[in-house]
Structure 1
Amino acid sequence: MKQKFQINGISCAGCVARVKKTLQEHPAIEKAEIFLAPKGATLITMKEALSVDELQKQLNTIEGYTIEEIEK
């Protein structure tokens, strides 16, 4: 299952790598694709549906990023 999100706080390739690694550490996330253009656009492939709150909790292990769902 793929869902689209917007991650705020992404500004460079280093941010992309750090956020991608953090998200993919969650057992329900198979793959996270994060783009710099448009900045912070994210496509997450999950084994099971995760809420934005659950994803934000995972992101809170690193500081400076927020996630929000965009149109399905």
Structure 2
Amino acid sequence: MKQNFQINGISCGGCVARVKKTLEEHPNIEKAEISLTPKGTTKITMNESLSVAELQKQLDRLNGYTITAI
């Protein structure tokens, strides 16, 4: 299952790498594809549906990133 999100706070390739790694550490996330154009556009492939709150909890391991559904 693929879902689209917007992650605010992403400004460079380093941000993309950190956020991608952190999201993919979640057992229900198979793959996170994050774009810099437009900044923070994200497609997440999941084994089972996760809420935005659950995804934000995963991102809270890092500082300065917020996720919203689009």
> Shorter chain as normaliser: what TM range?
over 0.9
Distance 2:59 2:39 in 1: 17
Matches for 1:1-72 after TM superposition, within 5 Å: 1-70=1-70
The TM-score with structure 2 as length reference comes to 1.00
- Determine helix, strand or coil for the equivalent of 1:15: helix
CA RMSD of aligned residues (A): 0.2
- Partner letter of residue 50 of structure 1? L
Q: Which of structure 1's runs of 4+ aligned residues deviate more than 2 A?
A: none
Number of residue pairs matched by the alignment: 70
Q: Which runs of 5+ in 1 are unaligned?
A: none
Structure 2: runs of 5 or more not aligned:
none
Percent of aligned positions that are identical: 76
Structure 1 counterpart SS, 2:10: coil
